[in-house]
Structure 1
Amino acid sequence: MDADQTMRLVYLGVWGTVLISYFLIARTQSIGQSLRQLLLWGLIFVGVAAGYGLWQDVSQQSSVSVTGEGAVVLRAGRNGHFHLGLQVNGTPVDFIIDTGASDLVLSQEDAARVGLDPQNLPYLGQARTANGIVGLARVTLDEVALLHDELEIRDTQVPAFVNEGELDISLLGMGYLRRYARISIEGDRLILER
């Protein structure tokens, strides 16, 4: 579970606690009227703050849309990165767009989810990363598909690598992005056109 998912769970937990507490306090007769109202207003305040935080969290997520001309438009997430969900061998995989990466690179976890056996791959290649040198295993993915609303972009026999080291999220590097005729970044938007 990444930090974004953890924060969403925290916000939802606070909301749940506020609602349950409200109902319990609203039904309590033994607490003085003033204290009861003070507690209720405090819970309302906490609920509004949690709701605002959850809204900020949801509204700042990276999003994908398709223009009338068929261009894919990605909006940067609150961390400034572009994320894209693709179907790899029929399995949903979340990627971060990394123009500094040469190729499509799967994490160990994602590789296993798409039907590869990361424990038995030959890690013959190497890559220099911010965390040092890691082993890479070359693989060929049967299909990589971008499916959004009416848009379907499918590529078959896509070369990729599986990272032997720690990798939180799979990387969508230039090896895959070169399949698009145009790639442009305009502010907080990344535009892909075939």
Structure 2
Amino acid sequence: MSTMDYGNLAYLVLLGAVLVFWFFIQNRQSLNKTLQQAAVWGLIFLGVIAAVGLWDDIRQNAQPQQLVVEDSGRIEVPRGPDGHYYLTLDINDAPVRFVVDTGATSMVLTQEDALRVGLTEEDIIFFSEAMTANGPVRTAPVRLDDVSLGPFHDTNVRAFVNEGEMSKSLLGMEYLNLFARLEINGGRLILER
């Protein structure tokens, strides 16, 4: 900040202090009511700031996650506010939310999702390794009995469980290649068989 900016800031602070002092002097007879109204306006201001800060989360929850058009064998997924596409697959009748990752080769489950779909700790043996953007990570190859996305069912699907920390499971190209058509157009991911 330059000297001129500091001068302007000092002027505005002084002007604001004078206005606040004048306001309280004018309303000293009803100071309690004035403080109550100031508190209400302050809470309204904080509420607006919270709504603006949480708008992306609110919009993502209000947005339809995926649309299945069964008669044409088509699934359309809108792009999320963060720019990613998310699909919810039923694995062994347990819903798992995936982020679509065309840069990933395989389907990769978080350890929590792997346990939720019925895999046991004995099923998850970390003896293979995968290269990620953050370097090598140990993985456990597994087979998933039943994977369904809308009307599409696949059995004995190969996947990996990641030993590292992941916020969401990844849906890689091995699974996406099971579809005859994969298209990203107009902010929508379209899958067809």
TM-score calculated relative to the size of structure 2 = 0.73
Helix, strand or coil at the partner of 1:51: helix
The aligned counterpart of 2:169 is: 170
**Quick check: 179-188 or 42-51, which moved more?**
42-51
The aligned counterpart of 2:34 is: 34
In the alignment, structure 1 residue 78 sits paired with structure 2 residue 77 = no
Helix, strand or coil at the partner of 2:154: strand
Q: Structure 1, residues 6-27: CA drift from partner, whole Å, max 9, x if none?
A: xxxxxxxxxxxxxxxxxxxxxx
Q: Structure 1, residues 129-167: CA drift from partner, whole Å, max 9, x if none?
A: 1121122222110111124xxxx2221111111122222
The CA deviation at 1:183 is 0.4
Find runs of 4+ consecutive structure 1 residues off by over 6 angstroms.
none
Calculate percent identity across the aligned residue pairs.
50
Q: Structure 1, residues 79-107: CA drift from partner, whole Å, max 9, x if none?
A: 21111111111111111101111111111
- Residues in 2 aligned to 1:92 and 1:180: alpha-carbon distance in whole angstroms: 20
- Residues in 1 aligned to 2:66 and 2:125: alpha-carbon distance in whole angstroms: 35
- Residues in 2 aligned to 1:156 and 1:52: alpha-carbon distance in whole angstroms: 44
- Residues in 2 aligned to 1:171 and 1:101: alpha-carbon distance in whole angstroms: 7
The aligned counterpart of 1:88 is: 91
What one-letter code is carried by the residue in structure 2 that aligns with 1:110? D
TM-score calculated relative to the size of structure 1 = 0.73
Helix, strand or coil at the partner of 1:175: helix
Structure 1 unaligned residues grouped into runs of 5+: 1-29
The aligned counterpart of 1:98 is: 101
The CA deviation at 1:112 is 1.2
Aligned length: 161
Structure 2 unaligned residues grouped into runs of 5+: 1-29
Whether the 8 Å CA contact 1:97–1:173 is kept in 2: the answer is yes
Q: Superposition RMSD on alpha carbons, in Å?
A: 2.3
The CA deviation at 1:32 is 1.2
The aligned counterpart of 1:48 is: 48
Whether the 8 Å CA contact 2:125–2:140 is kept in 1: the answer is yes
Helix, strand or coil at the partner of 1:48: helix
Helix, strand or coil at the partner of 1:32: helix
- Residues in 2 aligned to 1:76 and 1:41: alpha-carbon distance in whole angstroms: 37
The CA deviation at 1:55 is 4.0
